[in-house]
Structure formats: structure tokens, C-alpha cells
Amino acid sequence: MLSTMNDGPLSIARIMRQGTGPHGATAEVVTWTGAEPRRSRYAEVGREAARLAHALRGLGVTGDQRVGTFMWNNAEHLTAYLAVPSMGAVLHTLNIRLFPEQLVYVANHAEDHVVLVDHTLLPLFAKLLPEMKTVRHAVVVGGDASALEAPPGVEVHGYADLLAGRPEEFDWPELDERSAAAMCYTSGTTANPKGVVYSHRSIYLHSMQVCMTDGMALEQGDRGLAVVPMFHAMSWGLPYAAFMVGASMIMPDRFLQPEPLVAMMAAERPTMAAAVPTIWQGVLAELEEEPRDISSLREVVIGGSACPPAMMRTFQEDYGITVVHAWGMTETSPLGSLARPPAGVTGEDEWAYRVSQGRLPASVEARLVDDDGRILQWDGQSVGELEVRGPWVAEAYYGDDDPEKFHDGWLRTGDVGYLTPEGFLHLTDRAKDVIKSGGEWISSVELENQVMAHPAVAEAMVIGVPDEKWSERPLVAVVLREGETADAAELREFLSGSVARWQLPEYWTFITEAPKTSVGKFDKKRLRKQHSEGDLEIIHLT
Amino acid sequence: MLSTMNDGPLSIARIMRQGTGPHGATAEVVTWTGAEPRRSRYAEVGREAARLAHALRGLGVTGDQRVGTFMWNNAEHLTAYLAVPSMGAVLHTLNIRLFPEQLVYVANHAEDHVVLVDHTLLPLFAKLLPEMKTVRHAVVVGGDASALEAPPGVEVHGYADLLAGRPEEFDWPELDERSAAAMCYTSGTTANPKGVVYSHRSIYLHSMQVCMTDGMALEQGDRGLAVVPMFHAMSWGLPYAAFMVGASMIMPDRFLQPEPLVAMMAAERPTMAAAVPTIWQGVLAELEEEPRDISSLREVVIGGSACPPAMMRTFQEDYGITVVHAWGMTETSPLGSLARPPAGVTGEDEWAYRVSQGRLPASVEARLVDDDGRILQWDGQSVGELEVRGPWVAEAYYGDDDPEKFHDGWLRTGDVGYLTPEGFLHLTDRAKDVIKSGGEWISSVELENQVMAHPAVAEAMVIGVPDEKWSERPLVAVVLREGETADAAELREFLSGSVARWQLPEYWTFITEAPKTSVGKFDKKRLRKQHSEGDLEIIHLT
């Protein structure tokens, strides 16, 4: 029996029409320029998107060719978000923070035909452009285009010149909703970056979720501050969702330091904002130094990595702002889960929910899998690797088989944790860091936290090391606070109060500094290398 | 370029799993029984749905066979909402208020194989069953199944007996999201009822919209009171949306009179509710007579027909409850538009938005078309017929060509009005009632309201009558208040203060009673017949 419902496609053009039409005269994009803002109403953004689409057609962009962006969060980047997918091409947001060789790799792998680049990023981009083999046109946004030297076979254009005089309307084509709309590469630490290709359908559904009550509940009249870069997982869905319901967007451009961010917040009155914990840490420190009025904020969404509970409490107690802790990945568009406590829960009970990674919405199926591929119960105890599946979850990488990551439509997230019967996700470790001891899993992160609770310990890193009997056992690498002393036996004795007996580590080492990655996380790969090369002095307690 | 996103189907099974899993222990369905409620947690509803699916398989339901329901709003009807589509069959909600011959027609047209019937509806159903040619099984919910006599070829079962001992889990199949999930017939006044067939996809997307901030903003912890029958356009989307986000459902069963409704509201503390204006009129009258605490209500959604502005104000000013005026049809699932004023608008400005039919969300495309098929501007003035299109809008009727109603994927709504630049819909008339005078459209409803503003007038009906020069001109049929007098010239003079000169009617008639339909609306078809048969005494002012 056939359904009688309309089968028209879910598309970014539909989102754009809603934002530029009914909301075109009221919603605006605000771009910070240091001391003051630039403003455009969404109706104007729509006209600009049409001009950009005509300009890109003029540069020979047809079919599903890739148009790269090498840009901060600003009005022009938002314009590209709308124009490029709606004309049928594919928006490739280049992550300006990748290593140069990774940037060259992804531009070549995606076969970018055109790249839009902010003039403030030219010093970085100019070094990469000669290596980007498929790029034929570089479009410089703002500033002086002639500052960019064109390598052989590449034309350089000024954005404003290129768009000048183009028609303000474009005949947006009807597209298959499953066709590619945008792509974003994840920054792997070991291998080459992997490309995730979002479809019109996945972006449309994800935008609806952002505006749902169990999503970010973004609404008409909201002023959303996207600190999260537009080159990170589609800026957590804010730009498209904002056009879908008529929320304004506040864009910090390159002014991501705490001082200008706080100044912008005080001036532009965002009602919600999204960023990683590190950014918020800086914002809170800045506010402590020089108080400013940020009371316009109703909620801040914090994700990207686990948010320290103390930071959530500071927001709530000192500023009356609710933190919504969220979990997601580039591969999940990124909205995977959000911590909204059940209705009616208050006080400390509420905090137990708020610090979790939250609930997964109906569209994100989840399961926990153990080492033997068994599906575990949602009992608040059984720890396994989280796998997810759904209409905005990737089931492959672009042109890159990775069977370790995907199977039967499920994405192996690489995150380890448990789920409560109510569906709240608690992540405890990364799969590659968890210690597999005699068939049981020990969370390296939890052990680290317990060791660091000792007053003499500045930092503690835990990795799994081979063990004949148990296959793996934890090794604790300790950095002592200056002037403090503690030996391994004393620390193990300290742990025995809070850690199960069979988890108590017998391998210890004392180091002067914890190896860290460029973004300041513990570099366990490096510690493992030091261990395997015999560079660590191991104390074996028996 | 292929998207790398998962292509799994949007399905009612997914909605059911979210409601019965993470929300299974907290959300509940409450069914009123007159003095007290019956309660089931969603986890139990899920187990019951599995039992029902097994039972229906046992009755030979396979593939996309139709399972009819002849039921009030209650837990068992909700169970059928989940089980029938999720097992791959098609739920056909029979509108118990259709005329008997229409009910027989729709059951035969849909080829219902099984019908679930509430025992309290047996007196009505027993007369229809022998005429329902494809029905092989009638399942009586509650009461004594033997009260229903089985016609030849039909087996009668008791619901509880049929489900007893069945497994509490069912292996719900993976279905194409575009396959039929449910059907609902519209009650045409002239021709046979027409069937709309909802798909898993359309219901899933519509459920998301119900939980969006520009929808009903239904959320976890809400207690949704569905006064709107479950046999009307899927109960305005509430049941499925409630399972999607974990809102509880409060079901009035057959207790739809003001007194029990108010008693149930006071006892069960709904946070939102949905019903037609007539129901709310009764509720307000009942509350005036005997005040009760209904302060749990945050919002009431009113649709089905235009809500009198005075009623909205009473809710807001006397009870602190916000009315969300909404427009939709069976053919639009039904969520078409909702009146949520733009952020920051207050006072009388806010009311101007609240009394409109509201904004259409991104997924419901709209356009206004005039008699010559020209697309009109959204200028707050140009009046035309509203056409809509989108993933939860029908583009055909089941097994029934109706090219007058659909073209190029667009649904002709039969509603006439204008759209503002901000996208707010103002309906002024039904297309068949609008008077087409010299190429301009005159709203019959607006003329009626203006005439009824005269103190001597009890009721006024306006229809178009043939006119040689203008093609059509308005005829006003007036019912005077008892003891009052007024003649046509005086009434026309009265109108001249508020109605454009060219719209002033020259044809008048005085009648003793306005012909009305079974649901109390003006029966203009009957008035037109009286006019064409010369039964009305016409006064022609020149």
C-alpha cells in the first residue's frame, strides 16, 4: 500500500528559504570585528547567497564539485553554508588548525575546486595553496586579494569584486535529499584525517533536532553565539538550525580570546552559546578578573570534551546560567546526546544527571558492546564501547575503508562507558585507553582522577601495560607537586579507599612532566612509547 | 558524490523504542474512567504493543493489511497506534462520528481486515459490522465480547483474552520509511470520504515538528491532554510525539463532556492540551459555574476551526494559560501552522499575531494562488487560496483521483486568506464560500461578522449569488434577535462604516433560523439550495 504523502526532498534550500523569507527582516547575523559588530539581516544573507552561487557557477562550479572554506565564523562563511549546498555543490569546511600537511592532504583528497579564504588567514593559506593540486580558484574574503600570490593554474579573486552586480536570486535546483551537501574531516592523531560527507537529509533532520525540546531547544528570537568553529562538525548544527526557526547568529570571527569574547557577549546579548570547556574556562577567568553582564545567556551548551562539574556549578551558581553538557563527534553531525535531567529532579540529584553526557534522542540509536561483541544491558553498571546509528550518523568515511570503525551501519565511537536504564550516557574512558585486565575493563581516566585526588600529586597518567597473568594491568605515571613527596606504596594505600581491590595498580613510575598533545591533553601514545622503549623506571609493588 | 551518512529508515518502531525504553519507567498513559484513572507506564504499553502484534499476526494480519480502530482515546488505542504500524500493517482510525453509510464505505474502501472496537461503542458498531465486507475479525476492547454478534465470516474476540499469554517482545521488522503506516479519511460533506495514507517518514518528521520550538514544543515531563480524538488526523500528532520525547498522555476516553473533562484536568494536572474551540467553550462555561484548579496547563493548542479571540483572552487573562492558535487538516498530518508571536512582541501587538492562524514551519511550503493560477505576494493584503506542500502533506487521496485537490505535489487547501511578509497566515474564508465579484474576492465570513455586529442581528449568513454585471454578488441572510427590528437599508448603512463601498451587499433576505450542519456550522450549501429553488424572499437594494 502506497503512502499518499508528498515525497519532496529535505534540503538546505528549504532551510534557507525559511530563514531568508519569514525571518528575513528580523533575524540577523552579527560578525565581531574587534571593537564593534557588522550586521546583516537574513534577507540580505539570502541575496548574498544567490550572488555567491552565481559567482561560483561563473568559476565553473558544477554538479557536486567541492568548494572549500578556510574561514573563521563570520557572515561570509554563513553565506557559503547556504549557497554552496543549495546550488548542488559540496561545502568542504577546512579545519584551519590541522597541521599543514594534513590540510594539503584533505584539500587534495576532497578535490576542492575553489577555496574561499579569509584575508586574515592568508599568511597560513599562502603556504598551502601551491600544494593543493585540484584548486583552480582562491577567493579572498575581505582585505586585499592581491596579497595572495597565485600559483600556476590558480586564479585569485576578491570576494566583493566577484559578487558585485550578480543577480540577487538564484534558481536553486531540486536535489536528491541523500546527495552530498557538506564535508568535514576528523583530525586523527595517528592516520590521515577521515572525511565525513553530510547529506541534505542528514543536515535537515539534525537541524530539526537542534530545535527540539530534547535538543538545544533553539527558537525564534534566540541569539545563538557560535564559539565552536564553523569548520568543526558544522558548528554543532547552530547555523542551519538558526535559519530553520529564525534565531539570530553571533559570530566571533577570529576574536576567540576571553577578553573580546566577553566584550562581544556583553554587547550582543546572546541567549545561548556553544563552545568547548577550554573556551569557557577562559571566559570564566576573564569574568572573575573584570565582571561583565552576561545575564542574557539562558543556556550554554558545552561539549567536545568532558566538562568539569565545578565549571558547570560556577555557571549555575554565580551567573544563573544552565550548562547543557553534550556529547558528539564529527561523525554524528555532531549532536549525539544532551544532558537534560528528567522533569522534576532537583538539587544534587539534578547534578548527577547534568554531569553525565546526557540522553540520546530517538533518532540516535545506541548500544554498548564488550570485547567479544556482546550487547550489554543499560543497567548503569555494564561498561562497554558505545556504538551509535541513525540518520545523522556516518556509516563510512569518504573514499576510505575503515572496517574497524563501522560495521552493519553502526559507528564505533571509540568511547567507553555505561548507560542507565533511563538512557543517560556516562562515558568513562576512550576505548584505546581502557585497561583490559582479566576480561574486566578498568577506566584509565577514573584511576587518574583518584590518584590526582592525593594532595602530593600534581598530575597522573594511567596506561595499560602487558601482564602475563591478566593480559593487561594499569601503570600509573605520577608527577608530584613541587616540594611534595609520596611513594608508590603510599599512593596505592590511598587508592584502596575508593578503588576496587582488583583494580589497584601494582606498576608505578614517577616522571617530571606529563607528555601532552598540542591541545593540552595527556599524550598516552607518547607515554606508551616511553614504556615500550624502556625509558621509564618502573616500581613493581607485589 | 555519495553521502557517508547512515540510510536507516525513519520509523514508528524507533519512536516506540524511545518511549518504552529511556522513558518507559517515568512516562505514563492515563485513561479516564469516569471517576478515576487507569494508568500504564510506557514500558508496559510497549509490552502490550508486542502482545497485540503477536495477536494480530495470529489473526492472519500480514504485509500492509489494514487494522481498523473504532475507539475513544485510551491506552488500548495508543497501544494500537504503536503496534499496528510497527509490525508493518496499516492503522486505519475509523471516525466514529461519520454517518453509518460513510463508515461502511471507508471500512470497505480501506479493506480493513481486523477492527478493534471499544465495548462502549458496540451498539453503534454492531449495526455497521454486517456491511463491512472485508472484515474477518472484530476485537472487543473491555466489557463482554459476546455482546457483539458475529455476522457470517466474521470472528469476534475479546481483547484481553486474545492478548493473554502472548510474548512481551516482538521482532519489529525494518520497513521502508515511505511505506504506509496509518490512514485517516476526511469527512467530505458532498462526496464520499477521502483517504489520506500517512507514511512512517511523514509521521516521524511530524512528530519531530510537534516537539520543536516552532511546533507545540512538547517536552519530556509534559502531561499532554489529547481531547482531540485519536480518529482525527492522528490526534494532532500528540501520541507519537509524546513517545518520541517522553511526555505522558492523558486520555479522556468517552468522557468528553465539560464536567468530567474539568474533573480530569484538576485530578491529572495536564501541562498542555489540544482540542477544538467548541470543547474549550464548554470547559470555560463549566469553570465559570464551578471553579476548579487548572493552573497546571501552560498552553492549550486550539485548532480545527478558527478560535474566537475572546476565548483566547479569557484563557490568558482569567487563567494565565496561553492559547496557541493552530491550523491544519487531515491532509497535513495535521500540523500546518501555529501562532507563536515573534519574540519581544507584547500587548495588543501580540494579540494581532495570536489570533492569526500562525506561521508555517520550514517543512510546510506555502503559496497563495488566485483564480487565474497566479502566485500572489506575501504582502499582508493579497487574498488567494492557500496551497501547501511538504513531507507531511498529502499529494493524493488513496485510490481516488482528485485532480481538483492536488497538482504538482501541491495541496489545494480550500482555505482563502493572506500571508504577511513575516509568514503569518490569516484565513478569511473557505474557497467555496468566497464571493468573486468583478475579479475581486469578498470574504463571506468577514461580511457575516460585520452584519452580526449590529445589535438587532442574532445571526447572519452570506453566500454568493449570480449577478449579470459582477458575475457574483453577496446575499445576506439575516436572523433578527427576538423582539428586534431592522430593515435591509438600515443594515447596509450600518456596514458602510466598516466595509469597502464596492463590497456593500445589495441582496438581502430575512430568515427565521440559520440552516446548520450536524456540528453546528452554517450550512451554506442548504442556503444556496433554498436560494436557487426560489425559497427565499430577496430584497434588492439599488
The answer to whether A457 and A480 have CB atoms below 8 angstroms apart is yes
Cα-Cα-Cα-Cα torsion B186, B187, B191, B196, nearest 10 degrees, comes to 10
Q: At what angle do helices A12-20 and A75-86 cross, to 10 degrees?
A: 130
- Residue A276 gets which letter from DSSP? -
What own/partner pairs with CB < 8 Å and gap ≥ 24 does A530-533 have? A531/A463, A531/A465, A531/A475
How far, in Å, CA of B273 to CA of B218, rounded? 10
What own/partner pairs with CB < 8 Å and gap ≥ 24 does B41-47 have? B42/B243, B42/B246, B45/B19, B45/B20, B45/B75, B45/B78, B45/B79, B45/B82, B46/B16, B46/B19, B46/B20, B46/B21, B46/B82, B47/B20, B47/B168, B47/B169
User: What is the DSSP secondary-structure string of A36-58?
Assistant: SEEEEEHHHHHHHHHHHHHHHHH
Coil/strand/helix, residue B92 = strand
Is pLDDT of B345 > 70? yes
CA Rg, chain A, in Å? 25
How far, in Å, CA of B193 to CA of B183, rounded? 12
Task: Note if A186 is an active site residue.
Answer: yes
Chain B CB contacts of A180 below 8 Å: 1-3
Q: How far is CA B242 from CA B37, B223, B249, B361, in A?
A: 19, 9, 7, 20
B404 — pLDDT class (breaks 50, 70, 90)? confident
pLDDT at B1: 87
Is pLDDT of B189 > 90? no
**CA angle in degrees (0–180, nearest 5) for A233-A237-A241:** 160
Q: What is the mean pLDDT of residues B103-117?
A: 98
Residue B25: closest C-alpha in chain A: A422
In whole angstroms, what separates CA B339 from the centre of its chain? Answer: 16
pLDDT at B187: 77
Contact between chains at B342 and A220 (C-beta distance less than 8 A): yes
Does residue A197 belong to the interface with chain B, where contact is any CB pair within 8 Å?
Answer: yes
How far, in Å, CA of B32 to CA of A35, rounded? 61
Specify the residue for cell string 463491512.
B132
Is pLDDT of A188 > 80? no
How far, in Å, CA of B320 to CA of B341, rounded? 17
pLDDT digits (tens, 9 = 90+) for A482-529: 999 999 999 999 999 889 899 999 999 999 999 987 767 889 999 999
Give the least confident one: A131-145, B376-390, B506-520: B506-520
The rounded percent of chain A whose pLDDT value lies above 90 is: 88
The CA distance from B179 to the nearest CA of chain A, in Å, is 6
How far, in Å, CA of A280 to CA of A258, rounded? 8
Does residue B380 belong to the interface with chain A, where contact is any CB pair within 8 Å?
Answer: no
pLDDT digits (tens, 9 = 90+) for B447-473: 998 999 999 999 999 999 999 888 899
pLDDT at B519: 66
CA dihedral over A131, A137, A141, A142, signed as positive or negative? positive
Helices (H) then strands (E): counts for chain A: 15, 27
Mutate which of A6, A388, A406 to disrupt the B interface (most B C-beta within 10 Å)? A6
Q: Within the 336-355 window of chain B, which residues sit less than 8 Å (CB to CB) from chain A?
A: 340, 342-344
Is pLDDT of A172 > 90? yes
Q: What is the mean pLDDT of residues B508-521?
A: 86
Q: What is the mean pLDDT of residues A430-456?
A: 90
pLDDT digits (tens, 9 = 90+) for A255-304: 999 999 999 999 999 999 999 998 999 999 999 999 999 999 999 999 98
pLDDT at B304: 87
Coil/strand/helix, residue B279 = helix
Highest-confidence segment of B169-183, B428-442, B491-505 = B169-183
3-state helix, strand, coil in chain A (%, to 5): 30, 30, 40
Contact between chains at B197 and A5 (C-beta distance less than 8 A): yes
Computed over every residue of chain A, the mean pLDDT equals 95
Q: What is the mean pLDDT of residues B267-288?
A: 95
B192 — pLDDT class (breaks 50, 70, 90)? confident
Mutate which of B2, B4, B82 to disrupt the A interface (most A C-beta within 10 Å)? B4
Coil/strand/helix, residue A267 = helix
Residue B108 belongs to what H/E stretch? Answer: helix B100-110
Is pLDDT of A190 > 90? no
Could you count the other beta carbons within 10 Å of the beta carbon of residue B85? 29
C-alpha cell at A415: 568511547
Is pLDDT of B441 > 80? yes
Active site residue ranges of B: 186, 331, 436, 441
Coil/strand/helix, residue A309 = helix
Contact between chains at A179 and B25 (C-beta distance less than 8 A): no
Does residue A115 belong to the interface with chain B, where contact is any CB pair within 8 Å?
Answer: no
The rounded percent of chain B whose pLDDT value lies above 90 is: 88
How far, in Å, CA of A466 to CA of A23, rounded? 60
Closest CA to A19 of A34, A29, A9: A29
How far, in Å, CA of A430 to CA of A416, rounded? 5
Is pLDDT of B419 > 90? yes
Is pLDDT of B374 > 70? yes
Residue type at position A185: Y
Residue type at position A23: H
Closest CA to B516 of B486, B489, B484, B477: B477
CB pairs below 8 Å between A and B: how many? 209
The answer to whether A152 and A131 have CB atoms below 8 angstroms apart is no
Residue A206: closest C-alpha in chain B: B208
Q: Within the 387-416 window of chain B, which residues sit less than 8 Å (CB to CB) from chain A?
A: 389-398, 409, 411
With helix as H, strand as E and coil as C, how does B234-262 read?
Answer: HHHHHHHHHHHHCCEEEECECCCCHHHHH
Q: What is the mean pLDDT of residues B328-344?
A: 96
B/e letters for B457-488, b = 16+ CB within 10 Å, e = fewer, are bebbbbbbbebeebebbbbbbbbbeeeeebeb
Higher pLDDT, B419 or A402: B419
DSSP H stretches of helix in B129-226: 159-163, 200-210
Does residue B298 belong to the interface with chain A, where contact is any CB pair within 8 Å?
Answer: no
pLDDT at A121: 98
Contact between chains at B196 and A409 (C-beta distance less than 8 A): no
Is pLDDT of B148 > 90? yes
Computed over every residue of chain B, the mean pLDDT equals 95
Mutate which of A212, A214, A222, A377 to disrupt the B interface (most B C-beta within 10 Å)? A212
Mutate which of B14, B92, B197, B212 to disrupt the A interface (most A C-beta within 10 Å)? B212
Is pLDDT of A426 > 90? yes
Residue type at position A206: H
Q: What is the mean pLDDT of residues B155-171?
A: 98
pLDDT digits (tens, 9 = 90+) for A23-76: 999 999 999 999 889 999 999 999 999 999 999 999 999 999 999 999 999 999
pLDDT at B402: 84
A189 — pLDDT class (breaks 50, 70, 90)? low
Half-sphere exposure of A41 (CA within 13 A, CB side): 9
The CA distance from A107 to the nearest CA of chain B, in Å, is 15
A8 — pLDDT class (breaks 50, 70, 90)? confident
A2 — pLDDT class (breaks 50, 70, 90)? confident
Residue A205 belongs to what H/E stretch? Answer: helix A200-210
Give the least confident one: A178-182, A443-447, B178-182: A443-447
Which residues are registered as beta bridge partners of B170? none
Burial of A414 (0-12, 13-18, 19+ CB in 10 A): middle
Is pLDDT of B327 > 90? yes
Chain B CB contacts of A25 below 8 Å: 421-422
Strands (E), A289-391: 299-302, 322-328, 335-338, 358-359, 365-369, 384-389
C-alpha cell at B285: 462555561
Q: What is the mean pLDDT of residues B130-143?
A: 97
Closest CA to A461 of A474, A448, A472, A470: A448
Residue type at position B292: R
B/e letters for B339-352, b = 16+ CB within 10 Å, e = fewer, are bbbbbeeeeeeebe
Q: How far is CA A407 from CA A373, A389, A456, B3, in A?
A: 11, 10, 45, 17
How far, in Å, CA of A14 to CA of A85, rounded? 11
User: What is the DSSP secondary-structure string of A122-155?
Assistant: HHHHHHHGGG-TT--EEEEESS-GGGSPPPTT-E
The CA distance from B359 to the nearest CA of chain A, in Å, is 8
Catalytic residue among A33, A186, A322, A420: A186
DSSP H stretches of helix in A233-276: 238-245, 258-268
The answer to whether B445 and A49 have CB atoms below 8 angstroms apart is no
Is pLDDT of B190 > 80? no
Count of positions (residues) in chain B = 542
The answer to whether B195 and B183 have CB atoms below 8 angstroms apart is yes
Chain A CB contacts of B10 below 8 Å: 363, 391
pLDDT at A241: 98
The answer to whether A248 and A29 have CB atoms below 8 angstroms apart is yes
Distance from first CA to last CA of chain A, Å, rounded? 70
Q: Within the 359-378 window of chain B, which residues sit less than 8 Å (CB to CB) from chain A?
A: 359-363, 365, 378
Residue B111: closest C-alpha in chain A: A1
User: What is the DSSP secondary-structure string of B464-493?
Assistant: EEEETTTEEEEEEEEEEPTT----HHHHHH
pLDDT at B371: 87
Is pLDDT of A153 > 70? yes
Contact between chains at A199 and B340 (C-beta distance less than 8 A): no
Is pLDDT of B520 > 90? no
- Domains of chain B, CATH where assigned: 12-203 (3.40.50.12780), 363-429 (2.30.38.10), 435-540 (3.30.300.30)
